[in-house]
């Protein structure tokens, strides 16, 4: 049974195009042709730019990393366990003039340090995605992860696009999908939030519950407890609303901010600055 699916995107007519699948015993199956348009859409979906460091897990002949360097100005590397493909990828990067920004290594993806990635690309079977998911969730909040065809189980994507039908001789699937996830900050726990308002103290305690990027919360104020409204987390960016029961009629006050480890801060819809500190949880 297949346990790993490694992608190899073509660089030119000489290299051809396709993706390689293999199991834990390194048993290979035929290449699957993949058009350049899929690579372009994956990079566009991730919003790759010159400030990005892209890591491609299962880089095949290197097309994703080389395209990211050549067309988007990004840096990065790919890992591939076929030394012939690694050699061909590095040669292709040299010919394209991006060898300093696109490198390739003969390395097992499970043993690869991915902590530097701002963008992670992959074409792996669902079981492998799930094996990698805990490591991916430890990446810096805001890291973009793009997967071709396969999802992350219960971790729903932040976006997805349907791609044109591809020729996949070893799979019954004809249509393709590219999935995007934004690694969320970890906000689960109890936070003490202080609103900075000249001449007035306004504090509250928020208990956040988190499931990947989906968050809910309960607010404790002197006047009692209430549920957060419209809570949303995208990478390190957070927003939520708290009902201000001192106003009649009661209206929600909007909070916008960013998470920095055990602190978060931002401003409200009315321009008041706020800052929160995690009291417990992680």
Ranges of CATH 3.40.50.150 domains, the chain: 4-182
pTM score, whole prediction: 0.84
Residue 91, helix vs strand vs coil: helix
Q: Which CATH number fits domain 4-182: 3.40.50.150, 1.10.10.60, 3.40.50.300, 2.60.40.3620?
A: 3.40.50.150
Beta-carbon count within 10 A of 142 CB: 16
Q: Which residues contact 39 (CB under 8 A, 6 or more apart)?
A: 9, 63, 64, 67
Local confidence pLDDT in tens for the 282 residues of the chain:
222 333 333 333 233 333 343 343 233 323 354 568 889 999 999 999 999 999 999 998 899 999 999 999 999 999 998 999 999 999 999 999 999 999 999 999 999 999 999 999 998 888 999 999 999 999 999 999 999 989 999 999 999 998 865 545 444 445 789 999 999 999 999 999 999 876 677 899 999 999 999 999 999 988 788 899 999 999 999 999 998 766 667 789 999 999 999 999 999 998 999 999 999 987
Angle 101-105-111 from CA coordinates, rounded to 5°: 120
Which residue has 């949880």 as its token pair?
281
Q: How far is it, in rounded angstroms, from Cα 151 to Cα 158?
A: 11
Q: Which CATH number fits domain 189-280: 3.40.50.150, 2.40.128.120, 3.90.1200.10, 3.30.499.10?
A: 2.40.128.120
Q: How far is it, in rounded angstroms, from Cα 232 to Cα 177?
A: 25
| H or E stretch at 22 | strand 18-22
Ranges of CATH 2.40.128.120 domains, the chain: 189-280
SS3 string of 192-204? EEEEEECCEEEEE
């Amino acid at each position: 049974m297949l346990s790993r699916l490694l992608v190899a995107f073509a660089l030119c007519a000489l290299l051809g195009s396709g993706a390689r699948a293999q199991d834990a015993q390194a048993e290979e199956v035929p290449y699957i042709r993949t058009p350049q348009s899929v690579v372009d859409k994956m990079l566009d979906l991730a919003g790759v730019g010159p400030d990005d460091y892209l890591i491609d897990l299962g880089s095949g002949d290197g097309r994703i990393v080389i395209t990211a360097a050549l067309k988007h100005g990004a840096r990065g590397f790919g890992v591939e366990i076929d030394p012939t493909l690694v050699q061909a990828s590095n040669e292709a990067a040299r010919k394209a003039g991006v060898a300093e920004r696109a490198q390739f290594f003969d390395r097992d993806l499970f043993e690869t340090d991915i902590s530097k990635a701002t963008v992670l690309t992959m074409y792996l079977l669902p079981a492998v995605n799930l094996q990698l998911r805990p490591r991916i969730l430890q990446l810096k909040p805001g890291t973009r992860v793009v997967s071709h065809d396969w999802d992350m189980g219960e971790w729903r994507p932040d976006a997805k696009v349907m791609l044109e039908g591809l020729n996949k001789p070893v799979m019954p699937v004809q249509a393709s999908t590219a999935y995007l996830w934004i690694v969320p900050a970890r906000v689960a726990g109890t936070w003490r939030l202080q609103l900075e308002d000249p001449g007035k103290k306004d504090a509250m305690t928020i208990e956040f519950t988190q499931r990947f990027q989906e968050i809910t919360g309960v607010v404790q104020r002197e006047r009692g407890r209430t549920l957060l409204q419209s809570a949303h987390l995208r990478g390190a960016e957070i927003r939520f609303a708290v009902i201000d029961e001192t106003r009649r009629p009661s209206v929600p006050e909007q909070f916008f901010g960013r998470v920095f480890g055990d602190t978060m801060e931002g401003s409200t819809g009315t321009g008041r600055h706020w800052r929160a500190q995690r009291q417990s949880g992680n």
